[in-house]
Structure 1
Amino acid sequence: MNRLRWGMIGGGEGSQIGPAHRLGAGLDGLFTFAAGALDHRADAGIAYGRSLGLGDRAYGSWQEMLAAEAARDDRVDLVTVATPNATHFEITRAFLEAGFHVLCEKPMTMSVEEGEIIVETARRTGRICAVNYGYSGYSLVRHMRAMVARGDLGRVRLVKADFAHGHHADAGDADNPRVRWRYDPAQAGVSAQFADCGIHALHMASFVTGQEVTKLSADIVSCIPSRTLEDDAMVDFRMDGGTVGRLWTSSIALGRQHGLAIEVFGETGGLRWSQEQPNQLYHMPLGGRLQVIERGEADLSPEADRTSRVTVGHAEGMPLAFANIYKDLAEAITATKEGRAIDPAADLYPRAEDGLRSMAAVAAVAESGRNDGAWRDARPPMFR
């Protein structure tokens, strides 16, 4: 496979997410980092881009990058959008319209209406629009999905997902700019903690079970009273395959560090996985003994084998999970160029449709929370 060219918008010096994307995109030698508009400050973005080897393809703005790359014969094949949430829609739409494939950080948009426009644009242009639910790239998460799909658990009765941390538990952080914006409706939209972390857990539930959320009921609260938006949420949901769902997400859970975990309970077995211990998947067969499945061991599913790089017993972490999303996208883009079908084990990257479903869930959680937990339709209008 020839190397594809990759560009990035946002993720500049000091960014939390930028290094993980650069590590992930470069890990397998499938992409060359070719272009970037890495900072909203033009001079800083150009300087940092040049320090990373971009030369004259380090741009001062995404608009400059779009115009210049669109005019090149060796334009980038994939653009990652890792800018503040409120800018995702405009940038993603513009690059899709110009014929670029896009990987957008979550949340994909700030509203359901914007999400539907992105889905329609991707379908009309025939471009890939992926959303970075990067935790779905973990090898054993993909093995969970494969086990559920092949019937190892029988019919899935219940899925429970958590994403709870305690990093915003200090009420004295009210004026910390890295925290404050998350609870400001003008910058974060209608939801804080659920839109930030809860949608990762909800996507994980859908990804592993192969089912979509149809309706939900939410109890949301601002445990720190000065916050306009919620810092804790408990969500019950129902899925289109009949599975019952429970989800807890919080930013005030002192003692929790990352906190993403998922459990799946079926007629004939149960599974349990945590992002903080990603190399082990716990499987409890009905009437059997608890089994520990190790990442990298023999006889796992093709989906797990494809996404495991180092030998059993050695840790793989979040940048390698991101790398699996990029590995999927490289296969998808190359398959499109070559006019062939994508490898089924690679056809797992989160789509714009997933990003849209997340925004519909965010809107439903906010509305349900305002109405004492009343059940709300969690499907986007275009999917009803």
Structure 2
Amino acid sequence: MAKLKWGMIGGGEGSQIGPAHQLSARLDGLFDFCAGALDHRPDYGVDYGQRLGLGDRAYGGWQEMLQGEKKRDDRIDLVTVATPNSTHFEITKAFLEGGFNVLCEKPMTMTVEEGEHIVSIAKKTGNICAVNYGYTGYSLVRHMKAMIARGDIGKIRLVNTEFAHGHHADAADADNPRVRWRYDPALAGVSAQFADCGIHALHMASFVTGQNVTKLSADTVSCIDIRTLEDDAMVNFRMDGGAVGRLWTSSIAIGRQHGLAIQVFGETGGLRWSQEQPNQLYYMPLGERLQVIERGEANLSPEADRTTRVTIGHAEGMPLAFANIYADLAEAISARKEGRAIDPAANLYPKAEDGLRSMAAVHAVAASGKADGEWLDARPKSMR
């Protein structure tokens, strides 16, 4: 596989997510970091990019980067959009229409209509549009998906998933700019905690079960009462394969750190996994003893083997999970260039359709929360 060229928009010096993308994209030697518009302040972005070795491909803004890369014979093969939520649609749309493959941070858009538009553009142009639900890159999450698909726990009855932390629990910190924007409708949209973290848990439920959410009922609350948007939500949902779902997400759960976890219960067994202990998948066959599946052990699925780099007993963390998404995308881009089929074990990266479904669910949660938990259709109109 020939080495590909990668660029990033946002993720500047001091950002939370930028360093993770830099590490993840280059981890396997599949991408070279060639171009970037890394800060909304042009001078800062250019300076940081040049210090990272981007030279004249350190751009002052994303529009400049788009025009500059379109003119090059050695243009980037993939651009990551790691900017504030309210800018995702505009930038993703422009680069897709400009002929580039895009990995967009979640949420992909602010509205369902924007999501429908992105899906339409990706189909029309044939360019890849992926969404960074990066936790689906964990090896044992993929093995969990494979076990469910092959029927190891029978027909799925119940999914219980959560993403709860306590890092926004201090009311005295509510005016901190790094916190405040998340609860500002002008910047975050119709939802705060569910759009930020809950959609990771909801997407995880769909990813591992192979089922999509059809309807939901939500109880949302702002426990810090000066916030306009919710900092805690409980969501019940139903899936198109018959599974029942329960989801809790919170940013005021003091004592919780990361808090992404999922349990799936079928007719003949159960599975559970937690992002804070990602090397173990717990499997309970009906009427038998609990089994602990270790990442890196023998006889796992091809999906798990492909996404394991470190020998058993050593920790693999979030950047390596993100790196698996980049490895999937490298395989998808290379397969298209070479006119061959993608490796099925790599065709697991979250796509624009996943971003659209998530945005429809975000709006359904917000509306249901305001309507005292009314059950609402969680699907975008194009998928009903």
Name the TM tier (shorter chain).
over 0.9
Q: TM-score, normalised by structure 2?
A: 1.00
Partner of 1:317: 317
Match runs of 1:319-358 below 5 Å: 319-358=319-358
For 1:174 and 1:141, locate their aligned partners in 2 and report how far apart those are by CA, in whole Å: 34
Is 1:119 aligned to 2:119, yes or no?
A: yes
Deviation of 1:186 (Å): 1.0
Q: Which amino acid aligns with 1:383?
A: M
Q: Which amino acid aligns with 1:70?
A: K
* 1:73-99 per-position Cα deviation (integer Å, ceiling 9, x unaligned): 000000000000000000000000010
Deviation of 1:146 (Å): 0.1
For 1:36 and 1:100, locate their aligned partners in 2 and report how far apart those are by CA, in whole Å: 14
Contact kept, 8 Å, 2:168 with 2:174, in 1: the verdict is no
Deviation of 1:310 (Å): 0.6
For 1:343 and 1:186, locate their aligned partners in 2 and report how far apart those are by CA, in whole Å: 41
Q: Which amino acid aligns with 1:377?
A: D
Q: Which amino acid aligns with 2:290?
A: L
Partner of 1:68: 68
For 1:133 and 1:221, locate their aligned partners in 2 and report how far apart those are by CA, in whole Å: 25
Alpha-carbon RMSD across the aligned residues, in angstroms, is 0.4
SS at structure 1 position matched to 2:29: coil
* 1:279-328 per-position Cα deviation (integer Å, ceiling 9, x unaligned): 00000000100000000000000000000001000000000000000000
Partner of 1:230: 230
SS at structure 2 position matched to 1:278: strand
Partner of 1:181: 181
SS at structure 2 position matched to 1:238: strand
Partner of 2:148: 148
For 1:22 and 1:179, locate their aligned partners in 2 and report how far apart those are by CA, in whole Å: 24
Deviation of 1:175 (Å): 1.1
Partner of 2:380: 380
Match runs of 1:1-384 below 5 Å: 1-384=1-384
Q: Which amino acid aligns with 1:87?
A: T
Q: Which amino acid aligns with 2:99?
A: G
For 2:6 and 2:168, locate their aligned partners in 1 and report how far apart those are by CA, in whole Å: 34
SS at structure 2 position matched to 1:162: strand
Q: Which amino acid aligns with 2:341?
A: A
For 2:45 and 2:195, locate their aligned partners in 1 and report how far apart those are by CA, in whole Å: 28
For 1:187 and 1:101, locate their aligned partners in 2 and report how far apart those are by CA, in whole Å: 25
Identical columns (%): 82
Q: Which amino acid aligns with 2:86?
A: A
For 1:128 and 1:254, locate their aligned partners in 2 and report how far apart those are by CA, in whole Å: 39
Q: TM-score, normalised by structure 1?
A: 1.00
Bigger Cα displacement from structure 2, 169-178 vs 99-108: 169-178
SS at structure 2 position matched to 1:92: helix
For 2:146 and 2:304, locate their aligned partners in 1 and report how far apart those are by CA, in whole Å: 8
Gaps of 5+ in 1: none
Gaps of 5+ in 2: none
For 2:66 and 2:129, locate their aligned partners in 1 and report how far apart those are by CA, in whole Å: 16
* 1:99-132 per-position Cα deviation (integer Å, ceiling 9, x unaligned): 0000000000000000000000000000000000
Contact kept, 8 Å, 2:183 with 2:230, in 1: the verdict is yes
For 1:142 and 1:354, locate their aligned partners in 2 and report how far apart those are by CA, in whole Å: 16
* 1:232-290 per-position Cα deviation (integer Å, ceiling 9, x unaligned): 00000000000000000000000000000000000011000000000000000001000
SS at structure 1 position matched to 2:277: coil
SS at structure 2 position matched to 1:53: coil
For 1:209 and 1:258, locate their aligned partners in 2 and report how far apart those are by CA, in whole Å: 22
SS at structure 2 position matched to 1:220: strand
For 2:2 and 2:342, locate their aligned partners in 1 and report how far apart those are by CA, in whole Å: 16
For 1:169 and 1:357, locate their aligned partners in 2 and report how far apart those are by CA, in whole Å: 29
Contact kept, 8 Å, 2:5 with 2:31, in 1: the verdict is yes
Deviation of 1:174 (Å): 2.0
SS at structure 1 position matched to 2:278: coil
Aligned residues: 384
Q: Which amino acid aligns with 1:366?
A: A
